Structure formats: C-alpha cells, structure tokens
Amino acid sequence: MTLPALSDIPDTAAIAGLIRIENSDKDATTPIIMDMLRSVYPHDKIYGDFCTVQGYIDADPRAVFEYLSDTRSLEEWTYSLRGFTETDKPGLWLAYDRLGDQTKIYTRTVASADAMTVDYHCAWDQGEHLWMIYLMRVVDAQVVFNKPGAVVLWTNCHHPFYDQNGYPETAPKKRPVWVGDFWDMFSAGHQLELDNLRAICEYRAARGLPIKPEWMQ
C-alpha cells in the first residue's frame, strides 16, 4: 500500500534539503552521512550508549507535535520507512524499512499531549517485542529561545539487540544487513531525518498549509 505522502506538495524538489530514498539512494546518501561525521572526537565515546540529535523548527510546536503523533508521518520525514498499514492490533502499524531490502518494521506510537512527547516503539521483522525505542520531545521555543517555533529533541538508547538480533528466527534468510550495523551512523542519519522534518514543517507553515496534511486527518 502506498500512502499519499507529501501529496499536498506538487513538487517535492521545492523543499530545499529534503533527502529521502526516492531522490537519493543508499549509494548517493552514504557520502553525505559520512561527511556529517567528524574524526576530531571519539565517536564511540559520544554515541556508544546514546544517540541524541536536536533542532529548531520555525513552526507552531503544537502542530509539530500533532504531526509527529501520527505514525503515518514517518512515511514523509524518515529516510526509508514506507508503506504504513495498520495491523489487526489497534495502534500497531506495519511498514517496510527499505534500508533492509524490504524489511518489515512494526511501530506503535505512544504520545503525551501534556508533555508533547512522542515515543516510537519499533522493531524489525516482528511486532511482539518493540525494542527499538525512538524518544522524541517537542518544546515550545518561546520558553527556551524566547522566539516562536519548536525545538525537537530525539534520543535513542543502544539496546543490546542492536549488537545481536534477539529474534534471528524472524529475519529474512538472505538479508545482508541488520539494523545494528548502522548504529555508528545513527547520529548523522537521524540528523538528516530531523532536517527533513524541519524542511517539511517549515515549507507547510510558510505557505499556510496544515503541518499535518489533510490525508492524515
């Protein structure tokens, strides 16, 4: 199933800096990510157990939160998660991570409107143990920067399953990669995706479009 992602924007090339698998394949994107990494710091020391990225978005923070709270938004701003369909378990969505050659990924979104937190509980291959947790928080920039807009904080923790698949029996037999193979690139890859989020939200805000598009309503 193909969702109408970004269908409210006639020409996605007009969104400056947007990098998705549709316009930049793995081979083209790897050098971009590698250039975002720096050798002047001990990468493992900084990103060994935690990976945190953050950014400012010139858009209404509540609207950004509502957008992120809808699991289907991942179809738009992530680099490679595509084809979201809801399973027979309420709130549990199935999609495909195209980094893993059509690998199934399951997602359940846990959001708190009061704190404006959005946690994506995910896992490759199986939907019983969602051990990949993406912790996000939207902050009103007026509070922390004294200006309108939103600050988005995003943290991942290095679960041991990143090093060794806890459910190898559910993995496709011929898949050449595991999600943990990309951990050293998470910081740059997630910053790339956060930049996508900013670009999409700011594009819509600047043109008076809903941050959460009509097809998600």
**Residue range 116-160, pLDDT digits in tens:** 999 999 999 999 999 999 999 999 999 999 999 999 999 999 999
Q: What is the pLDDT of residues 170-189, one digit of tens each?
A: 999 989 999 999 999 999 99
DSSP element (H, E) containing 74: helix 74-77
Give the pLDDT of residue 48: 83
Tokens 């400012």 belong to which residue? 56
CATH superfamily of 12-216: START domain (3.30.530.20)
- Residue 117 dihedral angles phi and psi, to the nearest 5°: -105, 145
pTM of the model: 0.90
Domain coordinates of the chain in residue numbers?
Answer: 12-216
In sequence order, what DSSP letters do the residues of 118-160 get, joined into one string?
A: EEEEEEES-SS---EEEEEEEEEHHHHTSSSSEEEEEEEE--G
Q: How many CB atoms lie within 10 A of CB 37?
A: 13
Residue 96 parent element (H or E): strand 92-97
- The pLDDT-based confidence of 15 (bands split at 50, 70, 90) is very high
List beta partners, residue 108.
92, 121
- Choose among 51, 1, 19, 15: nearest CA to 202: 15
Average pLDDT over residues 99-113: 94
